[in-house]
Each structure stands twice: as structure tokens, then as C-alpha cells.
Structure 1
Amino acid sequence: MNAPVRLESLGQLGGPVTAEPIVRFERVSRSFAARRGNAAVYALDDLSLEIPRGEIFGVIGRSGAGKSTLIRLINGLERPSNGRIIVDGVEIDALSERELRPVRRSIGMIFQHFNLLSSRTVFDNVALPLEVAGVRAAEIKARVEPLLDLVGLADKRNRYPSELSGGQKQRVGIARALATNPKILLGDEVTSALDPETTGQILALLADINRHLDVTIILITHEIPVIKEICHRVAVLEAGKLIETGRAFDVLTKPRHPTTSNFVRNVTGVELPADLARRLRPEPAPGHQAVLRITFTGSHATAPVISRLTSILGIDVNILAGRIDSIGGEPFGALLVSVPGEEVTRLATISALAALQLKGEVIGYVA
């Protein structure tokens, strides 16, 4: 793979990052008429949301949550039934189809299944949006060649999609989405067709593009690991409603809604060993140990928790399972430990954890 060019050479139009959101939904609903006199079906229901300029913003939800509708509203492929949508200061739902065309050129789209034209080479696939816009051949070449360097496909410029791997096809899709020098990239499940190693490479490429080109990236996904890896903020949708939004780190480590908790459990939690799970009981009994889940974030993620608890309380603390990871570069961790099950010891342990600015909760008891 060729070494990537300096991203700064591809320059992004639009100036420095500001506090003004680049996308804003104001009480947006999108409904569809139901058959046989039933009530209308709402793909989005009274949704208000702000997406900051220059960030990587994730939108997550199960199938039917409204993710695809949200992305199609941003680029004007669908119109809201109610509410306003402002993209880069323009109320796009008030524009005619003709007025929408220049707005769409400032919004690139990356697809789940690549959507490459099999009869066109890599170079020609990337050049397609520029050809449609009527750009001259010399300008197309000057734009496309650095993009192929950027995505590591300069040596594949004359290959056809059938000759490429899935990851290479997605790199072509990313280069094509950048061809018109957009301010926003929309990604629709961009890694769900890729293997884990290739997924990591594509996410690293997107993070680099965001960091150096100041392109706002909005990723639609059902995969929490994608949010965890590169998103600055996240919105969680359920049945067309926004149920939770905020910094990805905060939402993933301190989810407030049960749906979000279900999404993040396997990513930020610690799985109980099978033998322990079978023996865990909800109520204490004489001689039982209390099993605690300890969650620690930020600067506390690497603190010597066990030695501090032992020193403060003078008790034995046994480690049952644990993990240390990061979300968007910020560390977090979780431990499963057991301590003597007497009430006074349990309460003292939780109090000591709170004093150390850590969260502790009893999840059960074992003999």
C-alpha cells in the first residue's frame, strides 16, 4: 500500500471549527401513511438534535429505529412531515429540488455495500461526482489523484471493483465521497460488511480524515464498537425517538436508558465467568461473599483500586474478572471483585469506593 499523502494538501473549505452546530433538527417528525385507515407510521417522532461542526457523530439504534430516515433527511432525499432541518446554516427542508443540488455537493455519502460501478475503474469511480458536476478533466485529475494517495489506492487506479477486496472497495467509496470537497460525510453502516481487522483500518482512516480535513462525519450504525472507537458524540434512537445523546464516553460508561444499557453491556461491562454466574444468588446468606462491579473512568481507570481498598478497610478483596479499555482515547475500566458479605462490610466498601470517586454496585452473592 502506498504511503498516504499529507492530508493538509487536500484542504477543506469552510474555515475553523465553531460552536455553531453544522446540522440541527428542530422537532422533526417523518411520518408515512398507513394502509387501511390505520394511524400514520412515524419513522422519526418529534426529534430535536444538534451535531457539532468538525466532530465524528454516531447515530445508533436497532433496525427500524429511524437511522436511515435521519440520514436521508440530512441530504434532502426525504422531507420532514413536521419541524425544521438546518444544515450549515441553510434550512434545507425549505429548498426546492434545484436549490438542493449545491447543498448535496457539500455532503458526501459512504455506503454499506460500496455502490461502485463495476464497469468503471477505481479512478473513474472516484471521478464520477466531479464529472456529473461538469468539472474539467484536468481539474478532475488534480483532485482524484491525491484522494487515491490519501486512501492508499494510488497503485490500484486502473483496477476494477471486481479486482478489489471489501476494504479496498470501501476506500474507493470514501475517496469518491470526498471528491466534491464536502463539509459533511454521511456513513451508512460503513463497516458492517467488513471483517474486524479491515473495520479497524477503515475507522482509523475516517478518524484521520476528520482530524486533518475538518470534515464532520455522521455515522449511522448498529455496532457499539464503531461508536466506542472513533465517535466524539452519539445519539441513541428507538422507535423514531431520541432516547439519549451526549459525549460518547459519557453515554457508553453511564447509560441512562435501558436500551442504551443493553447496547453497551458487552462493550463496557465485564462478563461473569460461567461458573460464577451459575453460583450467583440475589440475597446474602451467612458466610457468603458479596460480588461487586466497580466502574472507573478517566484518570481513575488505572488507579490501584484493590490495594487502596485493602489498606482503607483491612479486608481481603478478591479479583474475579476485569478489563481496561478506552472510548475515543479516554480510558475506562471495570472490575468484578468479591468481599466479605456482611452488611457492614458491604456498605463500608461502597462508601470507600465513592470516596475514591469510583462507582461500586453489588450484583449478587456467592458461597
Structure 2
Amino acid sequence: MDARLASLVLALPLACGCGGGGGGGSPASPTASTPTAPATTTTTTTTPAAAATAGTAFFYQDVGIGGNSVRAGITTDGRNITSYNSSVLRWTLPSATGVYADAVFSRLSNGRWVMAAATTLTDPRGALALQIHESSCPAVTDANVKVLGRSSASGCENAGALAMGKHSQVFEVNGSRYMFGMTNSRVILMRLTDATRGIANLSSICVRRTAATTLSELAWGEATTVLDSARAPGLFLSDTAIARRTDGTWVLFVKGIASNNGCTEASLCELCARGIYRSTSTDLINWSTPERVVSQASVPDAYTAPDGRVWLYWQDFGPACTAQNVQLAGRAPIRGAPESDFTASAPVSIPGEAFEANTNLHYPTNGNPVLLPDAAATAAFNACFGR
């Protein structure tokens, strides 16, 4: 939940910032619209045989008094989560540093795990900078977290924040790893690795002044604008999520709000005006005009499920909006649905967690599904939690 709105939910525990509201800023140059050949991918998928043993790791942010944590579990149906009763990330509030805004976990094809999050506005290491961590298990060691800001090299936009909304999961194409993010209401695509350099070698990110026209043009450590006011007129864009259909089409989900929404900042009106938009691409550079697919929603995440379907998850503020009761925002459920039918969405359930039974507790935010493509991946994930 957005930190500004959280301050309004007075009867519930104070929440940390969880999802940018979408800022203004000057739009970048429009991205090209000429279709190009689909990018060859090495993104983890499942074969029909492996699908029977595949599963889904599921992370969620537990909002508490004096601090938040990201907890982990596992699911076979995408809706009923078995909690592992374990936190992979913790931070205290209030705090200027060490806060992980909108933390997102990803599993790489080599079995390693990456966490990405934003810093706060007051973090002495850099305001709204990218925090990133790679390890053999999901648990994050604070001392090993890299904090990346913008590069000031020639050809880079060196002014402004780098991480102003929730990032997508990390994904792989042609042996390189990429991730979407947002800065100044523009969706950017970042290249995190190449054949010889990895995440550990990054010291900053160059936000290109001139947008890349092909994926191969985007160099290691660079970011290019892929959605802005030219492609999404009248929208402020924020949180991002990415998945890929079985036909090779990339699906980008973005939280958006009309720039002329007329709502007071941090109000229930503003919360209810937000929605999740969908855009598609064959090459990760040229994207269709975003279309709204879910209303009164925030913090999207997505993945390709074991059966090959793209699933979207989001925080559902519909009940609070219908009742016009901001107190209900703290109990907003995480919902999930296959892309083929968003009307078939259902809330996730995490039995055994205190917030499920105690309505005085904040419901978790930032549902984060991650494919475990086969039995070996599931076993390795379980081993990380002593199971």
C-alpha cells in the first residue's frame, strides 16, 4: 500500500511505502513503433512432464507495528498459500535507511535468487535508488545489498531518481538479465548482465537520453524508456510486472492513474482511481498502447504459471472504494487471476498467518509469485527454509 495512504488508515498498524503513486516529469522521446523480430528468450519455462512437479513460490509483505517483513510460502494452485512461517527480509520503521520499498523476488535460470527494491526519499545512500541483492537462497543479507543510482556518464540522464515504483521480476533473454522499473512516470527497461558482467559488477545505471530502438542496442548497465506519455497519453505510470505468453508475446502490467484524476493527493479518491494496465510486445522495446484491465487496484505482479498461462496478482481496493471507507484499505486482499479472464479473480489465502483471522491486523501486500519449474527447483527452495 502507498505510504501516503497508509498514514490515513489510523485504526490499523502503520504501513511502509509499498508502491509509487506515479510522478510527473518531462516525457522522454517517444519509442519507435516499427515491429521487429521477437527476442529469443532463455526465460525459465516448464515442459508438460515437468509441469506436473512444478510449483510456485509466493512472497508477501507483512505489515506490522514498528517494521515490515517479506515472508515466503509455496502454492500449487496460485491461490492457497502454504506459509513457511519465515521472513526473508525485515526492516524497522520509521527509518531513513535499511527500508526496502516494494521488494520483489526473482528466481534466475541458474537457481539463484535476486531481490530488488527502492530506497526511501531520505536514505543517505541515495534517494529512491535501486537496491539489489543476489544469493543462492531468497533470504537477504543487508550487508550484501548493492545500492545503485543514476550514472552521470555521457549520454545518460544524470538528474533525478532511479527507482520510483515497484520493479518487475528479473527475466532472461539471449543470456542477459533484464528488469523493468519506473522513473518520472516513465517505464524503463534495465539490462543487468551481459556475457561477462553480472549484477555484482554494477555501480550505477545509465538512463539513456536517447531511447534504444532494439534490444541489442541496450548495453549492460543501461536503461531505456519503453512507455511514456507518448505511448500512454493522459496516464501517470508506476509499478511494473512482466510475464511471457506461450506464443512468445511479452505482457507488461503497469499501475496507472489518470493525470487529470482530480483527487487530493494521498486520498481514498486517489487510491480508487488507480488501476492496472496491460501492454504487449514481441521485442521488449516497442509496446502497444496500455489498456486498463483491472480497476481500483495497485502493486501488480505477474508470472507464467506451470500450465503456461500468464497470471496477474494485485492489491484489490474495491471493497474500500465501494464502502468509501479508508479503514478497509488496510484489509485489501491480494487477488490473482489468469490473464484470460480477470473476472475470475479470487483472493489468495494464507492459512495459519495471524492476519487471516485477526481483522485488526493489516493484510499483507505485494503478492509476488515465482515459478519453481520442476521438482529440483522446488526441493532447492524448500532446502532454503530447512524443509
Q: What's the TM-score, normalizing by structure 1? A: 0.30
Higher strand share: 2
Q: What's the TM-score, normalizing by structure 2? A: 0.29
Bigger Rg over Cα: 1
